[in-house]
Amino acid sequence: MVSVEASAPGWARRVVDDLNAELDRLRSQRRNAPVPLPSFSKADLPAAPSYPRCMIFVPDEAGGATPAFSDGTTWRRVADRAIVS
């Protein structure tokens, strides 16, 4: 939420009100929308220890494109918990 001092000019208060209304609208839309996963090829996987409990999409996994998660050590396929290879 953006704030503005009460002593600010009327136009500034209106801009802030409009901005806050738009931010509220965008937040409500995102709550009801699917979350896109960032995509990484196997060659470009980020370091799993840097992203514990995070998810990614691996388009070139051996068994086909798949979501994967970091267990804090390696990236694992969601479907069977196998290490991405």
Please count the CA atoms within 13 angstroms of the CA of 25 that sit on its side-chain side.
6
Tens digits of per-residue pLDDT, 38-75?
Answer: 999 999 999 999 999 999 999 999 989 999 999 999 99
Report yes or no on whether pTM surpasses 0.85: no
Cα dihedral value 69, 71, 74, 76, nearest 10: -40
Average of pLDDT values for 4-19? 91
Q: What pLDDT is attached to residue 82?
A: 95
Average pLDDT, the chain: 92
Name the residue with higher pLDDT: 35 or 68. Answer: 68
Whose tokens are 């009100």? That residue is 17
